[in-house]
Amino acid sequence: MKKKRNYLDMNLKSFKLGLFTGVFALMALNASAQQPKQAEQHSNANVRMGQKALLDGDFKNAESYLTKALPQEGKDPDVLYMLGYSQFQNGDYKKSAETFGKVVALNGKNANALYFKGKATNNLAVQANKISVANKEQLLRVAIEDYSKAIAITPNDAKFYQNRAIANRDLGILIGTAGTPNYNKAMATDAYNNAIKDYEKVLSFDASKKDIQTEIKKAKVYRDNLK
């Protein structure tokens, strides 16, 4: 089990570069879609400073400035999105999930906000030490639900399937370990099968991804070794 946990920690770290790239791609899309609004700098100085810090990769200061902007900008999904991303990069997954939840509440069709909410929730479930196994299971199920909602909105984004696969695999590990309070072989089997299905979906977008081929093999080994 310890080896599996170490593997999960390494896997989480491997996504950071992709996430960093993704947020700026989304910001660029927002800018192109809202040229009249984005043509001028934001009127709130804290938002301006927060965005600059975010673009510089200074996530601690970005979070600080954007948090200060919330009394005035708490209903602005773009400001909340940047704040949630900064919190994610600072490792505060609980706050990040809550902030992205606010973005989703303002715009339920924001697939990227659902994606980041799911990732923050998944990371919290895997890395948190002071929450019960039952709560970890619930967090993983929430993450899976968030990814599913994102897929319903944008069904051709491979990273949504890949991350849902990871959440299902993590769920399989959590509830498929004999001796734990929530051990359930049948549900763990289903979780691994769902992970395999999503990994195979990722391969349908790009069959050359050897890392995904490896993940499928690992998920099958985990499933077949359930006791």
Query: What confidence tens digit (pLDDT) does each residue in 85-108 have?
Result: 999 999 999 999 999 999 999 999
What's residue 14's pLDDT?
A: 39
**Cβ density class 46-78: b for 16+ within 10 Å, e for less:** bbebbbebbeeebbeebbebbbbbbeebeebbb
Alpha-helix runs per DSSP H in the chain: 2-14, 16-33, 35-38, 45-55, 59-73, 77-89, 93-106, 111-127, 133-153, 158-175, 185-205, 210-224
pLDDT in tens, 172-227: 999 999 888 899 999 999 999 999 999 999 999 999 999 999 999 999 999 999 98
**Cβ density class 88-99: b for 16+ within 10 Å, e for less:** bbeebbebbbeb
CA distance 52 to 58: 9
pLDDT in tens, 5-56: 443 433 433 334 344 444 544 443 343 333 334 435 889 999 999 999 999 9
pLDDT in tens, 114-140: 999 999 999 999 997 888 999 999 999
Find the mean pLDDT for residues 136-149.
98
What's residue 40's pLDDT?
A: 56
Q: Are 166 and 218 in contact (CB under 8 A)?
A: no
Q: Which token pair is 38?
A: 């984005």
What's residue 153's pLDDT?
A: 97
Find the mean pLDDT for residues 108-112.
96
* pLDDT at 69 exceeding the cut of 80: yes
- The pair phi, psi for residue 148, each rounded to 5°, is -65, -40
What's residue 99's pLDDT?
A: 98
Q: Are 172 and 195 in contact (CB under 8 A)?
A: yes
Work out the burial of residue 177: count CB atoms within 10 Å of its CB; fewer than 13 is exposed, 13-18 middle, 19 or more buried. middle
Look at the pTM and tell me if it is higher than 0.85: no
Half-sphere exposure of 44 (CA within 13 A, CB side): 17
**Helix (H), strand (E), coil (C) string for 129-179:** CCCCHHHHHHHHHHHHHHHHHHHHHCCCCHHHHHHHHHHHHHHHHHHCCCC
